[in-house]
A and B are shown apart, each in its own frame.
Chain A
Amino acid sequence: MNAFKHALVILARYGIFVALAIEFVLFSFLSPHFFDLGNQVNVLHQNAPILVLAVGMTFVILTAGIDLSVGSVVALTAVVTAQIAVGDWAPVGVRIVGALIGGGIVGAICGCLNGLVITKVRIPPFVATLAMMLIAKGAVLVYTNARTISGLPDEFGAIGQSSLPHALFHIVTTLALFAIAWVILRFTPFGKHVYAVGNNPEAAHLCGIRVSMVLIGVYLLCGSLAGVGGLMLSTQLNSGDPKLGELDELEAIAAVVVGGTSLMGGRGSVWGTLAGGLLIAYLKNYLTLEGLPFFWQKIVVGVALILAAFLDRFRTEE
């Protein structure tokens, strides 16, 4: 029993990376199709938007906050992007560049508003971002009347194609965002302040850290990355679908938590989030390959979440 507990502690420390490696090897043996290049590219490409959302969510959760609005921001971005790209008001190149910039700005504005409401109006993140989730979603439905915007230029959809080499657009962008996030958290004053604020906000304030600015920065970042996620999804589908992003905020939170970042703040890393996100993505992919119905997959992922949280308990007790 003691040896078992010891093993759990070790597993918990490097937990998520070990678990990901075991899962990867196991699925490669169990399924003849899992290790295929095509399947691997497909998994990464398909999950790129969620992983990008999870990067932003990691920053927010490190400050002991939460952002429930990212799913709706994805929808809003997708619709705005599609609206700019569609029609023939300008040469196609201008429309696409305008769409990408416009989408990013929408995400940034939503995130910035979240940060302002949380720090200046002093509303808890859960409530503030819940409100933003409703408002952004409502705006999307009002604007589109729940209809999908289609007829986007092929060049736009090409950015989001799932076959090589186009798929590299999203995969490389995602990995680059993880690397940049890691550099920010590890090597910049802002990143270190994020950990300090999450660990002990009052001590951070007394240290002379501008806690409000850190929080606004974090939500701004999370919203902007939700914008990027929305861009990715709209290019993947080559349309502006108001239903996009639904429940994506919960998947992003799941990736962060499975990746070992504490909901209490101050502890965790983006690499953990990447591993957590991939762990869930591979699990779903394997279940699909084995032909398990989509609805059953949700149940399996739910059980996996509890297992991950259970392992995390050993790390906190350590």
Chain B
Amino acid sequence: MTTRAALEAHAVTKIFPGVKALDGVTLEVRAGEVHALVGENGAGKSTLVKVLGGAHAPDEGRVTLDGVPLPHGDPVAARRAGIGIIYQEFTLVPELTVAENIFLGREARGPFKRGPFLRGADMVRDARAILEKLGADLDPRTYVKRLSVGAQQQVEIARALASDARVLVFDEPSATLTDQELTRLFETIRELRSRGIAIVYISHRLEEVFDLADRVTVLRDGKHVVTTEIDGVTRTQLIHWMVGRELEDEYAFRPREHGETVLQVESLSDGARIRDVSFTLQRGEVLGFAGLVGSGRTESALSLFGRLPRTSGTAALCGEPIDFTHPAQALKRGLGYLTEDRKKHGIFGDLSVAENITVSNLFDYRTGPFVSSRRQLAAADAACKTFDVRTSGVDKKIAKLSGGNQQKALLARLLCRDLDVLILDEPTRGVDIGAKSEIYQLIYDLADRGMGIVMISSDLPELLGTCDRIAVFAQGRTVGVVDRDGATQEKIMELAVSEDVA
């Protein structure tokens, strides 16, 4: 095994509006090693991968391959130089064959050097050679849409190798694979390593990291924490590196009296992404949902809200069984849900702030069959005052407001009616610090009034700072509920990355 650095990122900084996604991060990957990249959601792993692959141009710093700097923000140049990225979402074209996908954009053409026709037979022959080297038993003439997820991943890898990749980056490759496919992937990766290819492996599953990696780099909040040999590192140590920041009291938690149970969920399942979810929620309580992306938190919320179907399990709201098939029913019975994707599923960008706030209960502002503009505007004005939505006028387009103010407007929309339970999905995502504290205060006020609050968040310190209890999700199941006293990030992460919870 050589110790020469193949791929290096030097002090890379990437700033998005309002967020420093990467802050002087350095990564050095050697030829013939598997280098694991770990960190919490939002630590900057995906951004770093995109910088390496040329999908993002860094604001500062540079990426070099064998000492040669790569041009910034040029995916084609990165690929030509020999960096292959296997994204979590595959980039294959399902309607083309394996061979056509492997050579997409670099097709063999004829009859002369750059003639107009494909040299299909040549492509099939070359594809077969690459697949054989990879140990993949695939016919290059099969259509990609007929392949399993694992086989599609092999095609992705073959495509990277076809352009002579010397560095392969795997962005959470295990998330969608079965156990057998995973074993197969590990064999492939070890084989590639022995051929001197440098491999970056990103995963939430720490077991895989210990199993596969030679060295590991930990990122936290966009900063480089440590790079070390994997031998001698304990799991607890690694988790501490991933989450170990000090809590500041931006949360200003206030203890409350809790009332009777307002929402009780037993063994909720949709047969796919929700497998066994149970929890109870009391009046005046803030219950956190912790877990990794894809652990079923949002799906559970949407299922309760009537947006996604469920196949088994029971739920009771204020003691009455519920099984909503449309969000309108949930809202009517007093269960509200605030979406995690404000732009895509929350706001009506072309409509005014007033229209956005009143849209879900227009029938309440009628005189006869008509909506009274006067009452609509008055209600919106009042809501803006109550929820401190800062706008130069409720007739302005909501798209012109800041993220925090849009979020408060959406809360105002939900709270136009009386709710018993409010589920907030990532309520502070993309919101600046000041507005964050205001949203926390708002949540406490609602809880004080006897509402039961569920807060889904990928920000562990936020959950620890604001919640009375935290339910931890892993692979579609609630694997534990942790009380506020005695809850630590380590404890929650242990649960969240736990595997094979039967």
CB distance A205 to B307 under 8 Å? yes
Question: In the complex, which of the residues B330, B345, B363, B373 contacts A203, with contact meaning CB atoms closer than 8 Å?
Answer: B345
Does chain A have a CB within 8 A of B339?
A: yes
CB distance B327 to A196 under 8 Å? no
Give the Cβ gap from A312 to chain B, nearest Cβ, in Å: 14
Question: In the complex, which of the residues A187, A188, A206 contacts B339, with contact meaning CB atoms closer than 8 Å?
Answer: A206
CB distance B350 to A199 under 8 Å? yes
By a CB distance below 8 angstroms, the chain B residues around A206 are 305, 307, 327, 337, 339, 345-346
Which of B179-214 touch A at CB < 8 Å? none
CB distance A203 to B347 under 8 Å? yes
- Please measure, in the bound complex, the distance between the C-alpha atom of A51 and the C-alpha atom of B166, giving whole angstroms: 65
Interface centre among A192, A203, A204 (most CB of B within 10 A): A203
What are the interface flags for B370-382 relative to A under an 8 Å C-beta threshold, 1 for contact and 0 otherwise? Answer: 1101000000000
- Please measure, in the bound complex, the distance between the C-alpha atom of A187 and the C-alpha atom of B348, giving whole angstroms: 18
Give the Cβ gap from A284 to chain B, nearest Cβ, in Å: 32
- Please measure, in the bound complex, the distance between the C-alpha atom of A214 and the C-alpha atom of B228, giving whole angstroms: 59
Does chain A have a CB within 8 A of B366?
A: yes
Which of A1-20 touch B at CB < 8 Å? none
CB distance A199 to B351 under 8 Å? yes
Does chain A have a CB within 8 A of B111?
A: no
Question: In the complex, which of the residues A188, A200, A202, A207 contacts B349, with contact meaning CB atoms closer than 8 Å?
Answer: A200
Residue of A nearest to B302 (CB): A206
What are the interface flags for A166-185 relative to B under an 8 Å C-beta threshold, 1 for contact and 0 otherwise? Answer: 00000000000000000100
Among the 9-residue stretches B42-50, B71-79, B251-259, B354-362, the one with 4 or more Cβ atoms under 8 Å from chain A is: B354-362
Give the Cβ gap from A2 to chain B, nearest Cβ, in Å: 24
- Please measure, in the bound complex, the distance between the C-alpha atom of A163 and the C-alpha atom of B21, giving whole angstroms: 72
Does chain A have a CB within 8 A of B106?
A: no
Does chain B have a CB within 8 A of A32?
A: no
What are the interface flags for B305-318 relative to A under an 8 Å C-beta threshold, 1 for contact and 0 otherwise? Answer: 10100000000000
CB distance A208 to B348 under 8 Å? no
CB distance A195 to B351 under 8 Å? yes
Give the Cβ gap from B359 to chain A, nearest Cβ, in Å: 5
- Please measure, in the bound complex, the distance between the C-alpha atom of A203 and the C-alpha atom of B346, giving whole angstroms: 5
CB distance A202 to B345 under 8 Å? yes
By a CB distance below 8 angstroms, the chain A residues around B355 are 192, 195-196
CB-CB under 8 A for A205 and B348, given A189-B363, A192-B371, A193-B362: no
CB-CB under 8 A for A210 and B328, given A187-B371, A189-B363: yes
What are the interface flags for A201-230 relative to B under an 8 Å C-beta threshold, 1 for contact and 0 otherwise? Answer: 011111111100000000000000000000
Does chain B have a CB within 8 A of A266?
A: yes
Residue of A nearest to B331 (CB): A208
Question: In the complex, which of the residues B307, B326, B348, B360 contacts A200, with contact meaning CB atoms closer than 8 Å?
Answer: B348
- Please measure, in the bound complex, the distance between the C-alpha atom of A196 and the C-alpha atom of B341, giving whole angstroms: 17
- Please measure, in the bound complex, the distance between the C-alpha atom of A199 and the C-alpha atom of B346, giving whole angstroms: 11
Question: In the complex, which of the residues B332, B339, B373 contacts A208, with contact meaning CB atoms closer than 8 Å?
Answer: B332
CB distance B371 to A209 under 8 Å? no
Give the Cβ gap from A214 to chain B, nearest Cβ, in Å: 12
By a CB distance below 8 angstroms, the chain B residues around A33 are none
By a CB distance below 8 angstroms, the chain A residues around B366 are 189
Does chain A have a CB within 8 A of B413?
A: yes
By a CB distance below 8 angstroms, the chain A residues around B332 are 208
Instruction: Report, as a range, how many residues of chain A touch the other chain.
Output: 20 to 34
CB-CB under 8 A for A208 and B350, given A187-B370, A192-B359, A200-B345: no
CB distance A209 to B359 under 8 Å? yes
CB distance A266 to B369 under 8 Å? no
CB distance A207 to B307 under 8 Å? no
CB distance A203 to B348 under 8 Å? yes
Give the Cβ gap from B126 to chain A, nearest Cβ, in Å: 40
- Please measure, in the bound complex, the distance between the C-alpha atom of A205 and the C-alpha atom of B363, giving whole angstroms: 16
- Please measure, in the bound complex, the distance between the C-alpha atom of A202 and the C-alpha atom of B346, giving whole angstroms: 8
- Please measure, in the bound complex, the distance between the C-alpha atom of A28 and the C-alpha atom of B326, giving whole angstroms: 56
By a CB distance below 8 angstroms, the chain B residues around A207 are 327, 359-360, 413
Residue of A nearest to B362 (CB): A189
By a CB distance below 8 angstroms, the chain A residues around B413 are 207
Give the Cβ gap from A148 to chain B, nearest Cβ, in Å: 42
By a CB distance below 8 angstroms, the chain B residues around A189 are 362-363, 366, 371
What are the interface flags for B254-282 relative to A under an 8 Å C-beta threshold, 1 for contact and 0 otherwise? Answer: 00000000000000000000000000000
Residue of B nearest to A191 (CB): B371
Residue of A nearest to B366 (CB): A189
Does chain A have a CB within 8 A of B113?
A: no
Does chain A have a CB within 8 A of B114?
A: no
By a CB distance below 8 angstroms, the chain B residues around A192 are 355, 359, 362, 371
CB distance B328 to A267 under 8 Å? no
CB distance A266 to B350 under 8 Å? yes
By a CB distance below 8 angstroms, the chain A residues around B349 are 199-200
- Please measure, in the bound complex, the distance between the C-alpha atom of A83 and the C-alpha atom of B61, giving whole angstroms: 80
By a CB distance below 8 angstroms, the chain B residues around A205 are 307, 327
Residue of B nearest to A197 (CB): B348
CB distance B344 to A202 under 8 Å? yes
Give the Cβ gap from A269 to chain B, nearest Cβ, in Å: 13
Which of B93-148 touch A at CB < 8 Å? none
- Please measure, in the bound complex, the distance between the C-alpha atom of A199 and the C-alpha atom of B326, giving whole angstroms: 20
- Please measure, in the bound complex, the distance between the C-alpha atom of A208 and the C-alpha atom of B370, giving whole angstroms: 19
- Please measure, in the bound complex, the distance between the C-alpha atom of A183 and the C-alpha atom of B350, giving whole angstroms: 20
Question: In the complex, which of the residues B327, B346, B360, B369 contacts A188, with contact meaning CB atoms closer than 8 Å?
Answer: B369
By a CB distance below 8 angstroms, the chain A residues around B369 are 188
CB distance A199 to B348 under 8 Å? yes
- Please measure, in the bound complex, the distance between the C-alpha atom of A205 and the C-alpha atom of B345, giving whole angstroms: 9
Which of A236-251 touch B at CB < 8 Å? none
- Please measure, in the bound complex, the distance between the C-alpha atom of A196 and the C-alpha atom of B360, giving whole angstroms: 10
- Please measure, in the bound complex, the distance between the C-alpha atom of A284 and the C-alpha atom of B327, giving whole angstroms: 49
By a CB distance below 8 angstroms, the chain B residues around A210 are 326, 328
Give the Cβ gap from A165 to chain B, nearest Cβ, in Å: 32
Which of A258-278 touch B at CB < 8 Å? 266-267
9 A-B residue contacts at CB 8 Å?
Answer: A189-B362, A189-B363, A192-B355, A192-B362, A202-B345, A203-B348, A206-B307, A208-B328, A209-B328
7 other A-B residue contacts (CB within 8 Å) besides A196-B355, A205-B327: A189-B371, A193-B362, A195-B350, A199-B351, A203-B348, A205-B307, A266-B348
List the 6 shortest-distance A-B pairs measured between CB atoms, nearest first.
A208-B328, A189-B362, A207-B360, A187-B370, A199-B348, A208-B331
